[in-house]
Amino acid sequence: MEKVELTSEMAEVLEEYTKLQQEERELQERKHALQEKLKVHLRGEAKRVWFPEVAGEHLKISYRSVPLVEYDEEVLRSRLGDRYESILEPDMRKLKAELPNLGSELAPLLGRIGSPSPDKVKEALHEQTVSADEFKGAFTKTMKEYITVAHVPPE
């Protein structure tokens, strides 16, 4: 792999960036701790919305508590047998995980739930099941850039 030169300017940028990452983590931790204190304060109150004035600023604080139910799916599947499917609804996490295996089952629904895939468009152009002219003016192409900075543990 070709090495990218680390100029003094880029060293400063990366130093500031990693410092900001650490500050961001610390701020998130502090914010979470303050949110916990607010939850404790509002937990027993009848009102779920509070409008305090603090330092001349009017604030709106909303609190709600919703039940989070997690089922032991294997136990329920064995206990309910065929009736198990009657209590199911789509789970986006499972759908995302199973998507590569669901192509043929989802095919009849693609008109409602699908979007053109750049890979499939290229394939269709290559196989000549569609022509490039049919796509003229029907798409835009932009470049989306990503950058990540992570700490590498010492060896």
Q: Report the distance separating Cα 80 and Cα 57, nearest Å.
A: 55
- Nearest 5°: the CA angle 73, 67, 39 is 140
Gyration radius (Cα) of the chain, Å: 26
What's the pTM value of the predicted model, to 2 decimals? 0.64
pLDDT number for residue 1: 66
pLDDT number for residue 152: 82
Residue owning tokens 């295996």: 101
pLDDT number for residue 24: 98
Using CB atoms within 10 A of its CB, is residue 56 exposed (0-12), middle (13-18) or buried (19+)?
Answer: exposed
pLDDT number for residue 137: 93
Q: Report the distance separating Cα 89 and Cα 94, nearest Å.
A: 11
Work out the number of other CB atoms within 10 angstroms of the CB of residue 81: 9
Q: Give CB contacts under 8 A, 24+ apart, made by 14-19.
A: 14/149, 17/149, 18/149, 18/151
48's tokens = 């779920």
What amino acid occupies position 133? D
Mean pLDDT by 10 residues, the chain (155 residues): 88 96 98 95 88 93 92 96 94 93 90 92 95 93 87 81
Q: Report the distance separating Cα 83 and Cα 77, nearest Å.
A: 8
Q: Which residues touch 114 (CB under 8 Å, ≥6 apart)?
A: 106
89's tokens = 């609804």
pLDDT number for residue 92: 93
